[in-house]
Amino acid sequence: MKKGMIKATGSFERVVHWCLALSCLHLCVTGMGMMYHSLNFIGSMVGGMGNLKMLHNFGGIFFGVSLFFAIIMWWKEAGLFSFPEDVAWLKAAGGYLWDVDQVPEVGKYNPGQKMFFLAVALFGMIMVVSGLVMWFPLSYSPQLVRTMYVLHALGYVVIFGFFFVHLYLVTIGAPGSAPAMFTGWVTKGWVKKQHPKWLKEMEKEGTLVVSGKDQPPVRK
């Protein structure tokens, strides 16, 4: 690892992130395999539609557990907007859609990331609840069960759409972002450009961790 890299995420954060991301992809693929006739071949690959449904359902449980840890871990930093800096960032679209002389400074998570987190948290919970009702309809009314199917499909559309936007932003849209969830380390130049307020906060609080450098005691 190069000297001067900044620690952006811990190992537990990365594990939760990848558990959530991979289980989400698993659910999208298995769900589409059941939803669209043209993709029914996915069921054939795992021994039939019954097996595909079982894989989807138990994948949903894994997703629900991952989502629970994600919400607990990231709610404080990514679940609440900061005013007025987040509003100013949104007005400038973070500099992604047009040239901006000075992108408003934001903390560890910008408003776009916060919206993505909130969308996944809200619609993820909707998909978990609706999925459980669909799996175990029990004595629920037919109208309620049908409503759960609609909500489940809506959650899929929202999360799948946000997923591709997220994928674009961490690769092409904001080069240098991906290492934060692969190794946990990013360059200081990237942090200074993407999250300058967070960098200043870490320097002020003494929580900045830099590779190849003796670390001062973390203030409590």
pTM: 0.86
Q: Are 120 and 159 in contact (CB under 8 A)?
A: yes
* Residue 172, pLDDT score: 81
Q: Are 196 and 15 in contact (CB under 8 A)?
A: no
Measured between alpha carbons, how far is residue 197 from residues 2, 39, 110, 124, 204 in Å?
Answer: 23, 46, 10, 29, 11
Measured between alpha carbons, how far is residue 204 from residues 30, 74, 162, 189 in Å?
Answer: 47, 22, 34, 18
Report mean pLDDT in 10-residue bins for the chain, 220 residues: 85 95 94 92 94 96 96 91 87 77 82 90 96 92 94 92 84 83 91 87 90 58
* Residue 1, pLDDT score: 62
* Residue 121, pLDDT score: 95
* Residue 216, pLDDT score: 52
For 12-185, CATH number?
Answer: 1.20.950.20
* Residue 220, pLDDT score: 47
Domain range annotation of the chain: 12-185
